[in-house]
Structure 1
Amino acid sequence: MAERVRAGAVGGGSARGEAAVPERASTEPTFALLTDGTAIQVREIRPDDLDAVRDLHHGMSPDNLYLRFFGLGPRLTEEMSVRLCRIPGPAHAVLGAWLGAELVGVANYEPTDEPGVAEIAMAVADRMHRRGVGTLLLEHMVSLARSRGIREFRADTLAQNVEMLRVFATAGLAVRHDLAGGVVDVRMPLAADARYLAAVAERERQADVASLGHLLCPATVAVVGAGRRPGSVGAAILRNLVAGGFPGTVYAVNPRAGERLADVPCAPSVAALPEAPELAVLAVPPEAVVQVAEECGLRGVRALVVITSGGDGPALLATCRRYGMRLVGPNCLGVSNSAVRLDATFAALPVRPGAAGVVVQSGGVGIALRDHLSRLDVGVSSFASAGDKYDVSSNDLLLWWEADPATRLGVLHVESYGNPRKFARTARRVGRRVPLLTVVAGRSTAGRRAAVSHTAAAATPTVTQEALFRQAGIIAAHGLGELLDTAALLAHQPIPAGDRVAIVSNAGGAGVLAADACADTGLTAAALGEETVRELTRLLPGGAACAGPVDTTAAIDSERFTGCLDLVAADDGVDAVLALVAPTAVSDLASAVVAGGAAKPLAAIVLGQPESVRVRYGLDGRRVPSYAFPEDAARALARARSHGRWLERPAGTEPRLPDVRENTVTRITRRLLEEVPEGGWLPLADTMELLEAYGLPLAEWRPATCADDAVRAAAELGDHVALKADVPGIVHKSDAGAVRLDLRGAADVRRAYEDLAARFGDRLRAVLVQRMAPGGVETLCGIMQEPVFGPLVVFGLGGVATEVLGDRSARLTPLTDVDAAELVRSVRGAPLLFGHRGAPAVDAPALEDVLLRLARLADDHPDVASWPSTRGSASCRAGGGTPTFDGCAEPEPRLPARNRRRIIRTAGPAAPGQTEGRGRTE
């Protein structure tokens, strides 16, 4: 086994605050948002920025210059400006905040005499005070400094510099103050703990919602490219805006349409508009998009919706960044917000106001969802078709829904994720207030290929999508029909408190099908209590089945069917009710299925109903989803119950792991990347040191460079060892004949060493001698840097059979203790770990600890692209380009019984009986 290290780190995200998370450290330009939603750029200051840095200081008031330099004078400002613009180096850093072409803030840190401590200072333009510039720069500096091994910032600040002290105090760091002689000595340990990350997330949420206000609650809208021809996209958008009753000002932009178009003012260009529109919707030819976006930026537009497909997307995004505009699209259907009667889409039908927030990438899927949610009386609160998703994404809409009281349900259909870790964190929080639903798209090879083609983004493996959704509490359907079935239930009925479902039917055979459907989805057909059975026996005709499922017989009338539903719903052993009717000439019970059972969540099934799902209305405006088939109703109830279980699940905590040595891993990976900039596999000894730095328990090992060294090492390890050759380019050692197992005594060890030396000659760097260990249950623990989702922890049972069956499960980092426990128990073969057929149970807490430490390693060091390289696992080789799954032919290590010493072996892929350990604990 070896560590694969790739060049570079994961870059900054597209939303404010991501740079404060350790894995986001980068000196690349990063788009960010201030607290009022204004978009700025944060990037490293370079020597050619000298004039901009001078202008920033020259524009500051004398009072602020004094607070900055503890004195006044042009020489001080010039010396500082020159110093800030020197060539960047590893010991110091200077970041600037740019609003368009203007530098509005600068922050820098310099080394001190204390190892790991740097002194930080910053300056913000007078007119930008109290807008979050200083806090944003501090967040980015914290991230950058942590990535370079700095553990604490210090700052000397005048006591009267209230603004700067407020920035430090509210950042979320554990700040210490020491006042002496009017100067405050501020100390800030750079621990990205839960408190700090929560503060960053809250600032990000407020900024993001403020910026989306320009998009979803604009006072003025301009449709650029509003056509005169009725069938044009621009004409349709303009028509929907006017017909929807948007109360703000609407403008059309068309150079050939005159002064009015569709009864709204029209101008020949954006520059000719009488005022700057807050939102501009672009429906212009692809070759004109960037030029029109430039005109919008110059005019002061705050948000763009680009309907046009094609064109130069990166240039469009760069233009929006330069002028601080939020961007939806390109290649999208548009946006809408029922709260302000905004419909800036070219959909054919108006959307019904309601409870569901919707974000999609596909405009066609968006149209279908809007129409069906309207038909099901769920309605739509806000809608965004993200298209190619250069800027505004599902992450942004999650934050908007969290702040929007009208949104009680979130629906997502996205085919790629730009910042999945942020998505997971945000969804976990938002999902506790608003149930979130999605479709697992791209499950097939053809589907993944189409997703890449459609969205111009990397397709996401199904195992990764499902891991993300499961952790985040998102209800994942396998199709739009299933999603709508579930949405209808969640919008109109409460979430079931348990798995027990009472089935009431006027057709016994259909009731049996409903019971089977419940069992197939993990629900239980409820057995009714004795008192309920007695009451049903008195109520129902002779021949009725009353114990559950209830068969009322076809002779039942509406009144007694309703009474039956009330009785079963009142039973303490029932958590939800399925009311199933087959219409007959004797009685039409379609109205009766919504008249009773109000005490518990209720779903109706009307056989022969032409719609797969519809809403039926009862007294007092009660709404009950009605399905055509039992299977659809059972799946919807099961998904709703799954969400209920997630809400009941403890949130879990991320372990502190104070014994990890981040700097050791940084030193190892940097050394390799300096030698091999494109990335590569770590040597065995470096791999072992790296894993030990994160507290991963290893079987004892020794390096050897000659036969005598190997014999001495084997004697120290107990004379029962394995030898593993460290040969550049060889990862799967057993396939290459680079492993010798089950060696006992000096003669075996010497012979094995000589065989390896003869086989590999000058290519042999060293041999790793490692103690053999007894057998147990084979397991796999691994990490991978997935190209779309980032760090992923993989767990499964080892061996050929489990690989054929694909018995693997995964979770995204950061991993909590609850996540790790669930991951160990999530594979189908988990009973083998917990005493199956009298076998000793494994040490589950030790195994969970291994997973937590691997997750922390992946989080802290994204340049470690995979560990381990494992046959058939979800681990992968990366290092530029798309990772490819390994096909190593050896079984994984074994997991022995509980309460034995924990060992995880990491020196190379294992052959049968080998002491190697991707997840082995003893």
Structure 2
Amino acid sequence: MSTVQPLPPTVEALLSDGTTAAIRPLRPADREAAYDLHAVRMSEKSRRQRFFAASRLAPKLAADRLCAPRPGFMALGAWVDRELVGAADYEIVRERPDAAEIALAVADRWQHHGVATLLLEHLLHAAREQGVRTIEADTLAGNRAVHQVFTDLGLRVHRHLDHGEIRVRVPLDEKDEHYRSAVEERGRSADVASLVPLLRPRSVAVVGASRRPGSVGRTVLEKIRQGGFRGELWAVNPHAERIADERTYPALSALPGTPDLAVLAVPSGAVANTAEECGQAGVRALVVLASGLSGADASQLLHACRRHSIRLVGPNCLGIAVTDDTVRLDAEFGAARPLPGSAGVAVQSGGVGIALLERLNWLGIGVSDFVSLGDKYDVSGNDLLQWWESDGRTDLALLHLESFGNPRAFSRTARRVTRRFPILTVDAGRSAAGRRGAAAHTAAAATPTVTRQALFRQAGITATHSIGELVEAAALLHAQPLPAARSAVAVISNAAGVGILAADACVDFGLVLPELPAHLALELTGVLPSGASAANPVDTGAAVGPAELRSCLDLLTRSRAVEAVLVCLVPTALTTDPEQDPLRALLDGPGRRRIPVAAVLLGQEVPVRYLDCADGARIPVYSDPQAAARALAHARDRARRLAEPPGAEPAVHDCDQQAAEDLAARFLDTHPDGGWLDPALTEDLLRCYGLPLTTSVWAPDEHGTVLAARSMRQLGHEDRIALKAYWPGQVHKSDAGAVYLGPGDDTSVRTAYQDFENRFGERLAGAVVQPLAAPGTELFAGIVQDQVFGPLIAFGMGGTTIDLLDDRTARLTPLTENDLHTMTTELRCAPVLFGYHGRAAADLMAVQDLLARLSRLADDLPQLAEADLNPIIATPDGLLCVDARVRLEPRHPFDPYLRRLRRSAAG
């Protein structure tokens, strides 16, 4: 190795107790801090364990070594509020460039806080980027602490004892799922610890509480007091002695104690300085209500929070509410007061938050925690999911997110959490105008629709299109059991027309209304009034009473013929006695049943409400059959996801990652800004991953094209060929008339190439010669590197009709076996792949293998900005890609599993 390794950027991450540490490379200017770490902050015992002997020169030598950049060496330091609390380094073994020796040192006061583990995670990430595949270290047998660090890391550890010293060797596998899970669990635990001052505060200060009635600060102060906050509440205002019957203090330094949480209701220009004062006072959580922070103020705010280990909600937010009886904190300025319950709510838009709280209140679904994230500089939806996963109170999560900081981490968290309870979201920003609004509101990049929907689908999140739909789905999922995955539905109605509307709505949302078995139909006829119909939908007749309707419902829910029941009622004047109202069949009967039951009551004023049943259970009642059927469809989708085992990444063999990396490096050396690969390089790259490419010969001129066509004939291909003109930046060859399909004799080929020269002139760089592919189903597959989400694999029907049909699906990498299955079955044209109307079925195993190889390529090569394989000819015998385009650009690898906090205040 001849050059000094490029230094990784400074990142911030959480230690095990929730403290924020900055991880960055050590530099010559850090020599004094490194010396103090070893000489002052480490005891003699710690130095002996680090250096294997007590030496006065050891701290100086260690500082000199750590702070001198050189080839094959990297040293990282962990800083807490400008204090160096730990250091870790590796040095590549000269004789074995794939191995490195590592060393660790942690200040005594910071041991057992996760400093060493966090440093190791980042050090291993840097080492992998330099080609290191094994780390090694010499330790004393009695140094139990460092041995525990290696054991807990999550990687396989090999130890060899020799004369009181233990040689530790750890192979590095960046795709080791056990290691990823261990890192994830450490991150979850640290995240939860950091959120305790925010969501379980024992004391709160409202900074900027105003004497003016109706102001934000005063409103929040009054709501906290009126909500019965269990802890200490202090108001800070230098210009008043009392506000709303609360004593005020002129500054944070004048408070009788240190608040866990400070709610900042100060003007935007004062936010950054106030946050610094909070940090110096020892505050550990902030809620910033102000909007319109300048770029400089935003950076200073986040810097203060990172430096002082403060978790931040906002700015530009509505506030937070915690209904836990030990806390009772209502620190938000919405009109509604959140009811206590078990639904966790996180929103970016304050307006959406207000509307959602109001609807949840009149529905009667209480919240465990409500957090208005606002511009989301720090605390995110991922943080809150991890908190709710652990709080023991939350059994439903409702999210409204307009941007994502680390979608991969969010996806892994959501996949885990949705196995425990439902996560619902509003899929906001589906239109171009909506995405522009989201970007303007959150100061973050708006999320492209296809990537966001892929994220929701893979994570098992129930995505809705409106607040109303969100609440309607939540009402069912919160109160009723899930249906079976098939979701055969029975519709019962006291009016045939409404039953038909409900049946149509169910079918529209992909639910099944089976014909009821003869014995069940006979039993239903026996309990219903004369003239009733026992078909599905079941028409009870307008005169049905509660006892008859309850018997009908009992028969259906106890049978195995259906997995959900939808009861549709229309008020009539036939029954004047309230006791004979058919609705009493639901009120007086059991609400808890084997399968979900939902109701529709035409004419009710609210879109959805609950009926409180005799056994304490609740049945959701909708005003419209469409809403009820849609909610049942969401429940069915969740049931299907839970029925699937967690997907594993498929094994992909015969991939040459090193060759692909070398090809990309050579191309980017000569094209620093990136660009499209020529056909020959494209073929070389794709063959590194065993992708099924047709035989192709690249020819730079007319003579070469003729020779290539002759070689095709000599190889035994048919006389007809495909000749494709090429120039850099080319998009659609067929649309440009850049494809010749015809005889491959010399004269025809010359004529075709000369035609290309006449039409394309100096743009023409050459041509690709291929044999004509056999007929089959034309498919498309591709890779897109999203700036926020990372690699996305797209798949669908291909050829010249790709844009016309627009039949495609997408998933974020890495693809799992479940992803491969659903991607090949959820297309509208999927029946064509399975052999529609006597057509030959495609080789689905080959299709899934191709997608798995693309996923591996996308993850292995971050420089791959986009790739199009179109068309891919699918036949019963396999696949053949006859055209491909690949674009590379300079990019550094981004490890989505490396623990780090948001790097900037821009979303």
Is the Cα–Cα contact under 8 Å of residues 719 and 746 in structure 1 kept in the other structure? no
Query: Which of 146, 160, 168 lines up with 2:128 in the alignment?
Result: 146
- 1:755, CA displacement in angstroms? 7.1
Q: Report the 3-state secondary structure (helix = DSSP H, G, I; strand = E; otherwise coil) of the residue aligned with 1:619.
A: coil
Amino acid at match of 1:589: P
Is the Cα–Cα contact under 8 Å of residues 725 and 738 in structure 1 kept in the other structure? yes
Distance 1:266 1:580, change over 3 A: same
Is the Cα–Cα contact under 8 Å of residues 415 and 451 in structure 1 kept in the other structure? yes
Is the Cα–Cα contact under 8 Å of residues 797 and 805 in structure 2 kept in the other structure? no
User: Which residue in the other structure is 1:548 paired with?
Assistant: 536
Q: Report the 3-state secondary structure (helix = DSSP H, G, I; strand = E; otherwise coil) of the residue aligned with 1:271.
A: helix
User: Which residue in the other structure is 2:904 paired with?
Assistant: none
Q: Report the 3-state secondary structure (helix = DSSP H, G, I; strand = E; otherwise coil) of the residue aligned with 1:412.
A: strand
Q: Is 1:903 equivalent to 2:880 in the alignment?
A: yes
Give matches, 1:249-264, under 5 Å: 249-258=232-241, 260-264=242-246
Q: Is 1:642 equivalent to 2:637 in the alignment?
A: yes
User: Which residue in the other structure is 1:18 paired with?
Assistant: none
Is the Cα–Cα contact under 8 Å of residues 695 and 771 in structure 2 kept in the other structure? yes
Distance 1:317 1:770, change over 3 A: farther
- 1:780, CA displacement in angstroms? 0.7
Measured in 1, the distance between the counterparts of 2:716 and 2:731 equals 26
User: Which residue in the other structure is 2:798 paired with?
Assistant: 798
| Identity in percent | 51
User: Which residue in the other structure is 2:613 paired with?
Assistant: 618
Q: Is 1:670 equivalent to 2:655 in the alignment?
A: no
User: Which residue in the other structure is 2:551 paired with?
Assistant: 563
- 1:271, CA displacement in angstroms? 2.4
Query: Which of 465, 487, 492 lines up with 1:499 in the alignment?
Result: 487
- 1:344, CA displacement in angstroms? 1.5
Is the Cα–Cα contact under 8 Å of residues 46 and 85 in structure 1 kept in the other structure? yes
Is the Cα–Cα contact under 8 Å of residues 333 and 385 in structure 1 kept in the other structure? yes
Distance 1:778 1:290, change over 3 A: same
Amino acid at match of 1:610: E
Q: Report the 3-state secondary structure (helix = DSSP H, G, I; strand = E; otherwise coil) of the residue aligned with 1:429.
A: helix
Amino acid at match of 2:50: R
User: Which residue in the other structure is 1:807 paired with?
Assistant: 807
Measured in 1, the distance between the counterparts of 2:745 and 2:34 equals 70
Q: 1:342-388, CA deviations, whole angstroms, 9 ceiling, x for partnerless residues? A: 22211222111112111100011111112211221211011111110
Distance 1:710 1:179, change over 3 A: farther
User: Which residue in the other structure is 1:223 paired with?
Assistant: 206
- 1:153, CA displacement in angstroms? 1.5
Query: Which of 276, 294, 298 lines up with 1:294 in the alignment?
Result: 276
Measured in 2, the distance between the counterparts of 1:224 and 1:699 equals 69
- 1:82, CA displacement in angstroms? 2.4
| Deviating more after overlay: 688-697 vs 387-396 | 688-697
Q: Is 1:606 equivalent to 2:606 in the alignment?
A: no
Is the Cα–Cα contact under 8 Å of residues 418 and 461 in structure 2 kept in the other structure? yes
Q: Is 1:45 equivalent to 2:26 in the alignment?
A: yes
Measured in 1, the distance between the counterparts of 2:111 and 2:448 equals 45
Query: Which of 75, 85, 107 lines up with 1:104 in the alignment?
Result: 85
Q: Is 1:847 equivalent to 2:835 in the alignment?
A: no
Amino acid at match of 1:624: I
- 1:716, CA displacement in angstroms? 5.2
Measured in 2, the distance between the counterparts of 1:205 and 1:211 equals 10
- 1:766, CA displacement in angstroms? 6.7
Distance 1:509 1:77, change over 3 A: same
User: Which residue in the other structure is 1:20 paired with?
Assistant: none
Measured in 1, the distance between the counterparts of 2:136 and 2:113 equals 23
Is the Cα–Cα contact under 8 Å of residues 867 and 884 in structure 2 kept in the other structure? no
Give matches, 1:279-678, under 5 Å: 279-311=261-293, 312-339=297-324, 340-497=327-484, 498-587=486-575, 588-596=581-589, 598=591, 599=593, 600-678=595-673
Amino acid at match of 1:532: L
Measured in 2, the distance between the counterparts of 1:83 and 1:755 equals 67
Give matches, 1:844-883, under 5 Å: 844-868=844-868
Distance 1:653 1:538, change over 3 A: same
Measured in 1, the distance between the counterparts of 2:735 and 2:498 equals 57
Q: Report the 3-state secondary structure (helix = DSSP H, G, I; strand = E; otherwise coil) of the residue aligned with 1:821.
A: helix
Give matches, 1:239-258, under 5 Å: 239-258=222-241
User: Which residue in the other structure is 1:779 paired with?
Assistant: 779
Q: Is 1:92 equivalent to 2:87 in the alignment?
A: no
User: Which residue in the other structure is 2:62 paired with?
Assistant: 80
- 1:908, CA displacement in angstroms? 4.4
Distance 1:549 1:894, change over 3 A: same
- 1:643, CA displacement in angstroms? 0.6
Query: Which of 108, 114, 138 lines up with 1:156 in the alignment?
Result: 138
Distance 1:850 1:894, change over 3 A: closer
Q: Name the structure, 1 or 2, with higher relative contact order (CA <8 Å, separation 6+).
A: 1
Q: Report the 3-state secondary structure (helix = DSSP H, G, I; strand = E; otherwise coil) of the residue aligned with 1:43.
A: strand
User: Which residue in the other structure is 1:211 paired with?
Assistant: 194
Q: 1:46-103, CA deviations, whole angstroms, 9 ceiling, x for partnerless residues? A: 23222222222222122222222333434333233223223465x3322221112111
Measured in 1, the distance between the counterparts of 2:77 and 2:83 equals 10
Measured in 2, the distance between the counterparts of 1:823 and 1:153 equals 39
User: Which residue in the other structure is 1:882 paired with?
Assistant: none
- 1:627, CA displacement in angstroms? 0.8
Q: 1:24-65, CA deviations, whole angstroms, 9 ceiling, x for partnerless residues? A: x99222121111111111122223222222222222122222
TM-score (norm 2): 0.90
Give matches, 1:2-151, under 5 Å: 27-58=8-39, 59-87=41-69, 91-112=72-93, 113-151=95-133
Amino acid at match of 1:40: A
Measured in 1, the distance between the counterparts of 2:733 and 2:617 equals 66
Amino acid at match of 2:548: R
Q: Report the 3-state secondary structure (helix = DSSP H, G, I; strand = E; otherwise coil) of the residue aligned with 1:621.
A: coil
- 1:231, CA displacement in angstroms? 0.5
Amino acid at match of 1:376: L
Distance 1:724 1:745, change over 3 A: same
Measured in 1, the distance between the counterparts of 2:766 and 2:668 equals 21
Measured in 2, the distance between the counterparts of 1:758 and 1:95 equals 60
Amino acid at match of 1:562: R
- 1:710, CA displacement in angstroms? 5.5
Q: Report the 3-state secondary structure (helix = DSSP H, G, I; strand = E; otherwise coil) of the residue aligned with 1:71.
A: coil
Distance 1:477 1:88, change over 3 A: farther
Q: 1:420-476, CA deviations, whole angstroms, 9 ceiling, x for partnerless residues? A: 111111111100101111111112222222112111222222222221111111111
Amino acid at match of 1:647: L
Q: 1:268-326, CA deviations, whole angstroms, 9 ceiling, x for partnerless residues? A: 11222222211111110000000001111111111111111111323211221111111
Amino acid at match of 1:290: A
- 1:668, CA displacement in angstroms? 2.6
Measured in 2, the distance between the counterparts of 1:327 and 1:741 equals 62
Distance 1:678 1:273, change over 3 A: farther
Q: Report the 3-state secondary structure (helix = DSSP H, G, I; strand = E; otherwise coil) of the residue aligned with 1:685.
A: helix
Query: Which of 168, 172, 176 lines up with 2:154 in the alignment?
Result: 172
Distance 1:907 1:485, change over 3 A: closer
Query: Which of 889, 893, 899 lines up with 2:871 in the alignment?
Result: 893
Amino acid at match of 1:149: G
Amino acid at match of 2:384: L
- 1:130, CA displacement in angstroms? 1.2
Measured in 1, the distance between the counterparts of 2:12 and 2:323 equals 29
Q: Report the 3-state secondary structure (helix = DSSP H, G, I; strand = E; otherwise coil) of the residue aligned with 2:847.
A: helix
Report the RMSD for the aligned CA atoms in angstroms.
2.5
Measured in 2, the distance between the counterparts of 1:278 and 1:742 equals 77
Is the Cα–Cα contact under 8 Å of residues 56 and 125 in structure 1 kept in the other structure? yes
Unaligned ranges ≥5, structure 2? 1-5, 576-580, 887-907
User: Which residue in the other structure is 1:887 paired with?
Assistant: none
Q: 1:503-523, CA deviations, whole angstroms, 9 ceiling, x for partnerless residues? A: 111111111111111111111
Distance 1:105 1:757, change over 3 A: farther
Q: Is 1:189 equivalent to 2:165 in the alignment?
A: no
User: Which residue in the other structure is 1:233 paired with?
Assistant: 216
Q: 1:880-909, CA deviations, whole angstroms, 9 ceiling, x for partnerless residues? A: xxxxxxxxxxxx314231234x43345549
Measured in 2, the distance between the counterparts of 1:348 and 1:548 equals 45
| Deviating more after overlay: 72-81 vs 776-785 | 72-81
